[in-house]
Chain A
Amino acid sequence: MIIKQISIFMENTTGRLAETTALLAGAGINLRAISIADTADFGILRMVTDKPDETLALLRGSGMTARETDVIGVEVQDHPGELARVMALFRDEGINIEYLYASLERKKEMAVIIFKVALVEKSLEMLTRSGYTTVSSF
């Protein structure tokens, strides 16, 4: 399964993040996972929300540079060594990971690792074959 991640191209200035998160809060959108990659001038804010379509419409409607990207969310046990096992799978299949970040799923005591890869189908097939559950939301 695929997660629709929302990415924002964001000015690296004080208050920009506060502004954006307040916008989401005002619309009752829940952030499930969030990550930032930054440079001196700009950053990319990547997030998984409970309502991706609404989130994208809201952000674009507010004049922000946002887009949707397909990423993979994998449930793993919240134990030492779990991420290492998943990484070994990707390595053995020769799949390059562009970026990843994680979120804790407290209800199930699981962690969800979010991966951006070029080879989405191949990665999904590999994870399923290896007994992992991929999610479309969490």
Chain B
Amino acid sequence: MSTPSPVETLSRHELADLQLTKLRQAVDRALSTSHYQAKLAGCGIACGEDLKTLADLRKLPFTVKDDLRQAFPDGLKAVPQSEVVRMHASSGTTGIPTVIYYTRADIDRWTELGARSAAATGCTSADVFQNMMSYGLFTGGLGLHYAAERLGMMVIPAGGGNTQRQLKLMKDFGTTVVHATPSYLLHVYDQLAEFGVDRKDLKLQRAFVGAEPHTEDIRCRLEALWGIQVFNSYGLSEMNGPGVAFECVHRAGMHLWEDAYLMEIIDPDTGEVLPEGAEGELVLTILDRQATPLLRYRTRDLTSIIAEPCACGRTHRRIRRIKGRSDDMLIINGVNVFPSQIEEVVMKTAGVGSNYQILVKKDGALDSLIVRLELDAPHFSDDMRDLEALRSRIAGNLMTSISLKPKVELHEPGFLPVSEGKAVRVIDERPTLPEGPEGSCP
């Protein structure tokens, strides 16, 4: 078992001092952006030094996803372009993506947090790390890629999908650790026999799972099926990506790296900060990032804080597994999708009406997304090929917008219920399993 680095075991008092110093710097950086200059006007904080204690954080307004949309593309950029070395983007609620910039130091810090996370699970430079998350604008791929290299593991940058190739890589290179969504990891297991791979020929010992909410039951199933340890991972692109919070070897909640992030739990309806241990929406302030500072960012993820000390000796508090969302965002095979993105595409597409329904269900271990639309009567051509072409054109447009190819169904006008609210338009048939406490696998 690895020894935590000194910063992971600071006393709570030392940690608080460090946080206050960093928070003041973060506020100063934020105030160098046009967005925060306007947003912080009138809250009584004109510079970082105006924060006397950590509790003064509450004087600052929340930052929400829509702020990033309004600041697009550069309203939240706190450094000159020449200092930016990378950007990542995630889906916005409409066509405008949520963009985060990184300086070299930002990438370095993110990498360090990821390496620290992987080390906390017991990984060492002897491990072989196969990254099954998609590379690209999505942070799930590149984030842990560099972190694993930093720790000295050999990285297999497999990316998402192509199960047959994943299994071949695992076998050929003796993969000991994988990073995947829990549903994909179940899917890979289901495919072992299909591709003629014997579990005994694989050296897998650990899996990092994240990007989608899952239950303790799923973790236990994965651990039992594969005979491995499964570690829960938390991250979001607005807070860099994976490596925000990670489970240690005790697998009983995720240590949130409090030297890098300030966490609060709020009531999503009132915005009131809730006492430690209460369940609510996680609000995060990123302390070190230079290029895109974000203060009190509402993650919309629902969880609670575990304040009890962990047996591993780390003093950074843990969060429980994410229970769900406080908005209507859907997580489909690890990809974040807002119904409003789908609506936007539907409204712009000729040949179908404006009424739609979104159905999400399980197809084996994986999620499947079905978008139901009504044919626009004047576009009925009597030729099946025209209808199939319309169907695939819409699927293609949706793919461009949400990075996920849905199955598009065409229905008779008037078939879909006319919905009065968004909830009726989204039907999520994925089973919700009973929730066990963290670390309850037999």
Contact = CB atoms under 8 A, between A and B. Distances in A.
B58 interface: no
Query: What DSSP secondary structure best describes chain A's contact surface?
Result: strand
Nearest to A13: B415
Interface in A63-106: 63-67, 69, 98-99
B383 interface: yes
Interface of A: 7, 9-11, 16, 37, 39-42, 44, 46, 63-67, 69, 98-99, 116
A69 B386 CA distance: 14
Contacts of A16: 412
A11 B412 contact: yes
Q: How large is the interface on B (under 10, 10 to 19, 20 to 34, 35 or more residues)?
A: 10 to 19
B384 A44 contact: yes
Contacts of A9: 375, 377, 380, 412
Given A16-B412, A64-B412, 8 more contacts: A7-B382, A37-B384, A40-B409, A41-B372, A41-B409, A41-B410, A42-B409, A42-B411
Given A65-B375, A65-B377, A42 B382 contact: no
B387 to A, nearest CB: 8
A41 B380 contact: no
A39 B387 CA distance: 11
A75 to B, nearest CB: 23
Contacts of A10: 412
A1 to B, nearest CB: 19
A135 B375 CA distance: 32
Interface of B: 372, 375, 377, 380-385, 387, 409-415
A116 B384 CA distance: 12
B410 A65 contact: no
Nearest to B382: A7
9 contacts: A7-B380, A7-B382, A9-B412, A11-B411, A11-B415, A65-B375, A65-B380, A65-B412, A66-B380
Nearest to B381: A67
A15 to B, nearest CB: 13
A53 to B, nearest CB: 17
A87 to B, nearest CB: 20
Nearest to A37: B384
B213 to A, nearest CB: 29
Which 10 residue pairs of A and B lie closest in terms of their CB atoms, listed nearest first? A41-B409, A11-B412, A7-B382, A65-B377, A9-B380, A69-B382, A11-B415, A65-B380, A42-B410, A37-B384
A128 B375 CA distance: 38
Contacts of A65: 375, 377, 380, 412-413
B414 A63 contact: yes
